[in-house]
Every structure is written in C-alpha cells, then in structure tokens.
C-alpha cells in the first residue's frame, strides 16, 4: 500500500527508529564487570526529529540497509543485529531518505553511521575534527567508511559553536560533548508535551557507567569526556531534561518506537 507523504508537523516530533542491538563481546573496556551490569547488551537507536521547517536525522544505526538479505530476516554487521531496515521504518511514517533536510551523528563510530549513505542528499552538520577523522587515511578501525562514503560530497555545514541551534528557535540544539571522539555531541530537544529531552550519543553507554562513574579505557580523550559529562549533568539539572542513554538496552526497550512519536 502506498504510504501518504509526511506533512511537516505543527510542533516538533521525535520518532525513535529501532536499530536492534549490540552483543558486546567484552565489557572490560567500559571498566565494568559482567556482574555489575543489568545486561551486557546495548540497544541501537536512531532518531528522526520532525520540525515544522524540516526533518533532522540524529544517528543512522549500525547495520546498513544493504546488510539485509533479500529473503528477509535480520541484518548483521560485526556484533550488531538489526530487525528491520531504516528505509522501511521511515516509509511507515511517510518519509523517504531524500525527505530528510539535515543529518548529524553523535559521533563517527560504526554503530552510529550505518546508514549514512542514505542521507547524502541532506545537509550534513558536523564538527571539522570529526569529519577529518571520518575521512582519514588509513581509516579508523572504529568505523565503517563504506557506510558513509557518499557524504564526502554532501552539502556540509561545519559546526563551530558549542551550541548549534538547528532551526533557530531553541527546540533542536546540538551540544558539543567531546571526548568519546574529537567532535562527539549530544542533542537537546524541547518538546511541547514531553518536555525537554537530551539524547546522549555515547557520553555513556551502559547506565551503570553513569551510576558508578566509569569512563571507558578507549575514549579519544578521557579528560574531555569527564569535562563533557560534568557539563551535560549540570545542564540536565538546570533544565530538568530527561536523559536518554541511547545504548541503554533496558531503557530503550521501554520507549515508544516509530510510527509512534513523542511531541
């Protein structure tokens, strides 16, 4: 059945797209023992933010849509498994990838950029330091360059400020939170009914990292991570925003997924 094309909403909507899970082979880089964790699995989610003036994708999953076999069944990449293509989930809410005006990633690691190529027609919002590492030679082993190679020629806006207000009305603000990667960032959303929400990127992975104050051993710059965490925690306190840890398997299992939305 042909889907109706999505119309711009009257106020900001947040759709959660299910990118499946990561079966983490070894938790020691997180400085956490198996016994300290509710589960060793991590969730993978990406987000479509529908604003009256355009749509923004925040992250793009781990498994590219091209990693699904034509016969059906889940797609896989490294230790990620995804139940359904991103294109199919977008179609369910009336979007094609070419309807997306803006693309930004929390950071460049493989489990966040899987479907980067789908959004080559969007304007890419990125810190220069992050883009540089994405196209470095040799490439970082922490990413899959083939999954975002089409962005090399995309219209690109370099974010130079700590707070980047995407639509100029304070409802969708990209906030610098470096450390996990050179240009790691989190996303602040002001939703009319839900209230303020911050999407974590990988500022934390497991909720226990936050509780037990553990910083992974594999950060780009651990001191920067500590400073970014302190700044985001202060911001959460000040704004009363909900904080969604994107890899928190238990929490993400409970939130509404597209076609449902938060507004």
* Minimum CB distance to Zn ion, residue 180 (Å): 8
Q: Which stretch binds Zn ion (CB under 5 A): 8-16, 108-116, 130-138, 144-152?
A: 108-116
Nearer to Zn ion, 65 or 202 (CB): 202
Token look-up 């939305």 returns 261
In angstroms, give the least distance from the CB of 142 to Zn ion: 9
Please choose, out of 104-112, 128-136, 171-179, 190-198, the segment that lies near Zn ion by the rule CB under 5 A: 104-112
Least Å from the CB of residue 78 to Zn ion: 12
Q: Does 111 bind Zn ion (CB under 5 A)?
A: yes
Sheet holding 156-158: strands in order across? Answer: 75-77, 80-82, 13-23, 41-51, 54-58, 102-104, 123-126, 156-158
- Provide the minimum distance between the beta carbon of 189 and Zn ion in the complex, in angstroms, as a whole number: 19
Query: Quick one: which of 65, 202, 208, 248 contacts Zn ion (CB under 5 A)?
Result: 202
Does residue number 65 form part of the binding site for Zn ion (CB under 5 A)?
no
Rg of the Cα trace of the chain? 17
Taking the least distance from each CB to Zn ion, the nearer of 91 and 222 is 222
> Starting from the edge strand earliest in sequence, which strands make up the sheet with 242-244, in order?
163-165, 172-176, 185-191, 195-199, 242-244
**Each residue of 151-168: b (16+ CB within 10 Å) or e?**
beebeeeebeeeebebbe
Binding site for Zn ion (CB under 5 A): 111, 202
């Amino acid at each position: 059945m042909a889907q109706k094309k999505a119309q711009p909403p009257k106020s900001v909507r947040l759709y959660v797209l299910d990118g499946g899970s990561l079966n983490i082979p070894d938790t020691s880089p997180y400085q956490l023992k198996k016994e300290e964790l509710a589960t060793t699995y991590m969730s993978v989610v990406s987000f479509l933010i529908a604003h009256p003036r355009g749509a923004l994708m925040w992250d793009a999953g781990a498994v590219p849509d091209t990693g699904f076999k034509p016969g059906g069944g889940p797609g896989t990449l490294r230790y990620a498994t995804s139940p359904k293509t991103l294109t199919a989930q977008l179609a369910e809410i009336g979007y094609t990838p070419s309807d997306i005006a803006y693309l930004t990633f929390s950071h460049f690691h493989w489990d966040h950029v899987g479907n980067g190529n789908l959004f080559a027609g969007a304007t890419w919002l990125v810190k220069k330091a992050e883009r540089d590492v994405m196209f470095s030679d040799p490439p970082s082993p922490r990413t899959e360059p083939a999954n975002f190679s089409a962005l090399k020629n995309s219209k690109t806006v370099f974010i130079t400020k700590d707070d980047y207000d995407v639509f100029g009305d304070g409802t969708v603000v990209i906030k610098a939170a470096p450390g996990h990667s050179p240009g790691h960032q989190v996303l602040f959303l002001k939703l009319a009914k839900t209230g303020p929400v911050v999407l974590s990127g990988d500022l934390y992975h497991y909720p226990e990292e936050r509780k037990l104050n553990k910083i992974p051993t594999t950060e780009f710059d651990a001191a920067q991570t500590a400073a970014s965490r302190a700044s985001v925690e202060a911001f959460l306190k000040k704004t009363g925003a909900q904080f969604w840890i994107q890899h928190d398997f238990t929490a993400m299992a409970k939130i509404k997924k597209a076609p449902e939305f938060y507004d």
